[in-house]
């Protein structure tokens, strides 16, 4: 959530920045400012009413002490009316504050100055490419055919148990999944990220804190009887560990990593580009999360990008990095880099990671603050990234490492799998 004082002080510049998302933000900003004006007017009226009531209370006490009970009774009647007014004003103020809060929730984060304007993924900028694209030719099989041939993944069994988008991994493929999780966690902890295990269910306050609610409410699985949500990413519970916290400057940065399953209702469209592991409702992911003071957050973002580059380099997968345009940028993000790995058999790029800086947008919702060098509370900056999401990494390993007799395991994973081939 954008800080209210930022919208008050810079409405035109915020609207201009939000224009990169392809939206006319002036109406929503004006609505926020009008609601804020109404709230402040009510607050002023309430403060004045309470001050007058306090003054009357002192006068009534003095009159009773002076034996002027008749005059005191007259003032008591006036005081009772003030109490009724203050009660009504308090209710109106609370309603105005709630309405203002809901309006603020609808305003997306302002894109960083480096974010290109654009409407969709076609306008994203390629900022880095690594590795030669393998030319598999017509003999290469997509991962869903390899999975069937080598009995690695049973998509139909997942449909039987749950539904489409919930695959069952078997044998060496299940072991390969576990190897990838361990490899990512080991590399993340070696880089200074503290490993945590977090709940896979979160409450509404957690969803609001990181921006999944109300923006992505329809994409989350909800347990309505308990008012809980299955997590779409470890970012949500990990970042919410610090909700309502006031830290010392010396506590920063905070760096965490976590492995969790992720659950997303998004169905997308049908076709080859969403077959197999390309889009799932349940998948595994290892996440990295950082909390930084504002002056360090963009240097931290670059460090996270370099870290993910290192993971993909060790796996030997060709990849590229995109800077997302405004129209493709997530609601809460100020700047996002997407990593895409080349699928040889499908001959297309598959997204495997997003690394984002949210600046103070999440921290403002979370009330996540730190004391600066002057001991003054300030909003922290939050960042997160996939390091890495497993389904498409697994798909690309199966496709890019296939040969005539099987599938080779990347060298860096062999100590984790205990085998170097699937045959």
pTM, two decimals, is 0.92
In the prediction, which pLDDT does 272 show?
A: 52
pLDDT band at 69 (very low <50, low <70, confident <90, very high): confident
Residue 354 annotated as lining a ligand binding site: yes
240 and 361 fall within a common domain: yes
200 and 77 fall within a common domain: no
Distance CA 233, CA 258 (A): 10
Distance CA 167, CA 398 (A): 16
Distance CA 398, CA 341 (A): 12
In the prediction, which pLDDT does 218 show?
A: 81
Question: What range defines the domain where residue 135 resides?
Answer: 121-422
pLDDT band at 357 (very low <50, low <70, confident <90, very high): very high
In a domain, 113, yes or no: no
Residue range 13-32: average pLDDT?
Answer: 96
152 and 94 fall within a common domain: no
Q: How many Cβ atoms from other residues are within 10 Å of residue 158's Cβ?
A: 19
Q: How many Cβ atoms from other residues are within 10 Å of residue 54's Cβ?
A: 12
145 and 196 fall within a common domain: yes
In a domain, 110, yes or no: no
203 and 282 fall within a common domain: yes
Is a pLDDT exceeding 60 seen at residue 323? yes
Q: What is the 3-state secondary structure (H, E, C) of the chain?
A: CCCHHHHHHCHHHHHHHHHHHCCCCHHHHHHHHHHHHHHHHHHHHHHHHHHHHHHHHHHHHHHHHCCCHHHHHHHHHHHHHHHHHHHHHHHHHHHHHHHHHHHHHCCCCCCCCCCCCCCCHHHCEEEEEECCCCCCCCCCCCHHHHHHHCCCEEHHHHHHHCCCCCCEECHHHHHHHHHHHHHHHHHHHHCCCEECCCCCEEEHHHHHHHCCCCCCHHHCCEECCCCEEECCCCHHHHHHCCCCCEEEHHHCCEEEEEEEEEECCCCCCCCHHHCCCCCCCEEEEEEEEEEECHHHHHHHHHHHHHHHHHHHHHHCCCEEEEECCHHHCCCCCCEEEEEEEEECCCCEEEEEEEEEECCCHHHHHHCCEEECCCCCEEECEEEEEEEEEHHHHHHHHHHHCEECCEEECCHHHHHHHCCCEEC
Is a pLDDT exceeding 90 seen at residue 60? no
Is a pLDDT exceeding 70 seen at residue 340? yes
Residue 287 annotated as lining a ligand binding site: yes
Residue 233 annotated as lining a ligand binding site: yes
In the prediction, which pLDDT does 72 show?
A: 80
* pLDDT tens profile 307-317: 999 999 999 99
Given 50, 75, 105, the domain boundary residue is 105
Domain with residue 171: its CATH number is 3.30.930.10
Residue 351 annotated as lining a ligand binding site: yes
In a domain, 227, yes or no: yes
In the prediction, which pLDDT does 216 show?
A: 72
The closest of 422, 390, 394 to 408, measured between CA atoms, is 422
In a domain, 294, yes or no: yes
Residue 124 annotated as lining a ligand binding site: no
**In angstroms, what CA-CA distances link 311 with 174, 279, 283?**
20, 22, 19
Residue range 290-309: average pLDDT?
Answer: 98
Residue 264 annotated as lining a ligand binding site: yes
Given 79, 105, 131, the domain boundary residue is 105
* pLDDT tens profile 380-401: 999 999 999 999 999 999 999 9
243 and 178 fall within a common domain: yes
148 and 242 fall within a common domain: yes
Residue 265 annotated as lining a ligand binding site: yes
In a domain, 111, yes or no: no
57 and 191 fall within a common domain: no
In a domain, 238, yes or no: yes
66 and 167 fall within a common domain: no
Percent of the chain, pLDDT > 90?
86
The closest of 205, 216, 284, 215 to 242, measured between CA atoms, is 205
Q: Which two tokens stand for residue 67?
A: 């034996």
Residue range 92-117: average pLDDT?
Answer: 97
Contact status, residue 272 vs residue 353, Cβ threshold 8 Å: no
Given 43, 77, 105, the domain boundary residue is 105
Token pair 């506590």 is at which residue?
251
Is a pLDDT exceeding 70 seen at residue 198? yes
pLDDT band at 133 (very low <50, low <70, confident <90, very high): confident
Contacts of 17 (CB under 8 A, 6+ apart): 110, 111, 113
Is a pLDDT exceeding 90 seen at residue 68? no
Count: domains in the chain: 2
155 and 284 fall within a common domain: yes
Is a pLDDT exceeding 60 seen at residue 416? yes
Residue range 290-311: average pLDDT?
Answer: 98
In a domain, 349, yes or no: yes
Mean pLDDT of the chain: 94
The length of the chain in residues reads 423
32 and 100 fall within a common domain: yes
Contact status, residue 402 vs residue 134, Cβ threshold 8 Å: no
62 and 151 fall within a common domain: no
pLDDT band at 71 (very low <50, low <70, confident <90, very high): confident
Domain with residue 99: its CATH number is 1.10.287.40
Distance CA 29, CA 43 (A): 21
In a domain, 39, yes or no: yes
Contacts of 139 (CB under 8 A, 6+ apart): none
Residue range 120-132: average pLDDT?
Answer: 94
* pLDDT tens profile 249-286: 999 999 999 999 999 997 554 455 678 999 999 999 99
Contacts of 77 (CB under 8 A, 6+ apart): none
pLDDT band at 201 (very low <50, low <70, confident <90, very high): very high
Distance CA 102, CA 94 (A): 12
In the prediction, which pLDDT does 269 show?
A: 46
**Which phi and psi angles does 36 have, rounded to 5°?**
-65, -40
Residue 52 annotated as lining a ligand binding site: no
25 exposure class (CB count in 10 Å sphere: 0-12, 13-18, 19+):
buried
């Amino acid at each position: 959530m954008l800080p209210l004082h930022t919208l008050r002080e810079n409405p035109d510049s915020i609207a201009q920045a939000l224009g990169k998302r392809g939206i006319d933000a002036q109406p929503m900003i004006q609505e926020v400012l009008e609601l804020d004006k109404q709230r402040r007017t009510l607050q002023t009226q309430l403060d004045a009413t309470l001050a007058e009531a306090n003054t009357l209370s002192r006068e009534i006490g003095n009159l009773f002490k002076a034996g002027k009970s008749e005059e005191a009774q007259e003032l008591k009647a006036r005081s009772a009316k003030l109490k009724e007014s203050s009660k009504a004003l308090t209710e109106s103020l609370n309603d105005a504050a709630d309405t203002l809060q809901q309006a603020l929730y609808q305003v997306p984060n302002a894109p960083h100055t480096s974010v290109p304007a654009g409407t969709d993924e076609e306008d994203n900028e390629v900022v880095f490419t690594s590795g030669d694209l393998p030319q598999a030719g017509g003999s290469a099989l997509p991962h869903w055919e390899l999975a069937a041939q080598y009995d690695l993944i049973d998509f139909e069994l997942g449909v039987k148990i749950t539904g489409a988008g919930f695959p069952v991994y078997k044998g060496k493929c299940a072991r390969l999944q576990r190897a990838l999780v361990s490899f990512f966690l080991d590399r993340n902890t070696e880089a200074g990220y503290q490993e945590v295990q977090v709940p896979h269910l979160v409450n509404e306050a957690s969803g609001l804190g990181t921006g999944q609610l109300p923006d992505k409410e329809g994409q989350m699985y909800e347990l309505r009887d308990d008012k809980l949500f299955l997590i779409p990413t470890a970012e949500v519970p990990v970042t919410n560990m610090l909700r309502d916290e006031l830290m010392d400057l010396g506590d920063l940065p905070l760096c965490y990593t976590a492995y969790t399953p992720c659950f997303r209702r998004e169905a997308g469209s049908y076709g080859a580009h969403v077959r197999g592991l390309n889009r799932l409702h349940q998948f595994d992911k290892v996440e990295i999360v950082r909390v930084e003071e504002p002056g360090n957050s963009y240097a931290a973002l670059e460090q996270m990008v370099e870290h993910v580059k290192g993971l993909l380099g060790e796996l030997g997968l060709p990849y590229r990095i995109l800077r997302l345009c405004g129209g493709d940028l997530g609601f809460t993000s100020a700047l996002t880099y997407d990593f895409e790995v080349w699928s040889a058999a499908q001959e297309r790029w598959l997204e495997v990671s997003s690394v984002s800086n949210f600046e103070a947008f999440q921290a403002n919702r979370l009330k996540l603050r730190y004391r600066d060098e002057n001991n003054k509370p300030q909003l922290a900056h939050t960042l997160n990234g996939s390091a890495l999401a497993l389904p498409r990494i697994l798909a690309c390993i199966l496709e890019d490492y296939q040969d005539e007799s099987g599938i080779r395991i990347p060298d860096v994973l062999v100590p984790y799998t205990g085998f170097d081939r699937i045959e």
